[in-house]
Amino acid sequence: MKSDVVLEESMHLDFLEEIYSIPGGEKIKDCIQCGTCSGSCPTSYVMDYTPRKVFAMIRAGMRDEVLSCNTLWLCTSCYSCYVRCPQDIKITDIMYALKRISIKDGKYPKGSDAQELSKMFTHIVNKYGRNHELELIQRYFLKTKPLKLLQNIPIGLKLLTHGRLPLLPTKIRNISQLQKIIRKAKSLGGF
Ligand code: SF4
Ligand code: SF4
């Protein structure tokens, strides 16, 4: 019984160490649980746990619960929390880091396709230097829900005819520099 408690305690500390090793991650220690992040978050109403709660759970060592919640995947990277946090905690960056750990450990919510979308987005940005929505949508639906692709053709055609969806991708200049950054990010555990 005592060894179970010791093991649990050590796993708790390992998780905290893992989070604190994320650049800016150690700032989580300064969270005062004010809730400004949750109040600023446009998607918190559909999240399993609000950003404030996620930080409390991290400090409580709730690794599996944190890595498997939908919060990470519903974060739209709007940075509202990031700019408003009174403790200067880099919340959005930490959400990204948690997503990476969740994918690495296979903890993302079962049935969720958000991680596929993230991988495809990175693939397209690596190819052109920016997103190409039409290709992203096609790849995403073909891989995850082919029937939805057919259902979305009418709306796609409307967007195309109104010039809201570029047919062809545009490529940035000096893309090799960006590709070098993406390669480096992947070597550090990105996707
Ligand atoms: S806004 Fe910052 S200090 Fe307040 S709960 Fe969120 S992370 Fe913690
Ligand atoms: S960056 Fe993510 S967690 Fe923060 S307010 Fe925006 S959606 Fe919410």
Q: Residue 73 sits in a domain of what CATH number? A: 1.10.1060
- For residue 98, give the nearest of 67, 138, 133, 52 by alpha carbon: 67
78 and 40 within one domain: yes
Q: What is the pLDDT of residue 9?
A: 67
52 is in which domain, residue-wise?
2-104
90 and 11 within one domain: yes
Q: What is the pLDDT of residue 104?
A: 85
Q: What is the pLDDT of residue 13?
A: 76
| Residue closest by Cα to atom 2 of ligand 2 | 75
pTM for the model: 0.76
Q: What is the pLDDT of residue 185?
A: 84
pLDDT by residue (tens digit) across 156-182? 999 999 999 999 999 999 999 999 999
Q: Give me the residues of the chain with pLDDT under 50, please.
A: none
What distance in Å separates the CA atoms of residue 126 and residue 103, rounded to the nearest whole number?
A: 19
User: For residues 59, 82, 179 and 123, what is the CA-based torsion angle, rounded to 10 degrees?
Assistant: 80
H runs (alpha helix) in the chain: 2-20, 36-40, 51-59, 63-68, 71-74, 80-84, 91-104, 114-128, 133-144, 146-151, 153-161, 175-187
Q: Residues 81, 96: contact at Cβ < 8 Å?
A: no
Cα(80) to ligand 1 centroid in Å equals: 12
100 and 28 within one domain: yes
What distance in Å separates the CA atoms of residue 37 and residue 52, rounded to the nearest whole number?
A: 6
Candidate of 66, 89, 92 to mutate for ligand 2, largest count of ligand atoms within 8 Å of Cβ: 92
Decide: 102 in ligand 2 pocket, CB within 6 A. no
81 and 134 within one domain: no
Q: What is the pLDDT of residue 187?
A: 83
Q: What is the pLDDT of residue 178?
A: 94
Q: Is the dihedral of CA 63, 97, 71, 132 positive or negative?
A: negative
Please indicate, yes or no, if residue 11 is contained in any of the structural domains.
yes
| Residue closest by Cα to atom 6 of ligand 1 | 37
- Of all ligands present, the nearest one to the C-alpha of 30 is 1
- For the chain, how big is the Rg over CA atoms in Å? 19
Cα(162) to ligand 2 centroid in Å equals: 30
Q: What is the pLDDT of residue 191?
A: 64
User: For residues 84, 85, 90 and 93, what is the CA-based torsion angle, rounded to 10 degrees?
Assistant: -60
Q: What is the pLDDT of residue 80?
A: 97
What distance in Å separates the CA atoms of residue 56 and residue 70, rounded to the nearest whole number?
A: 16
Q: What is the pLDDT of residue 180?
A: 95
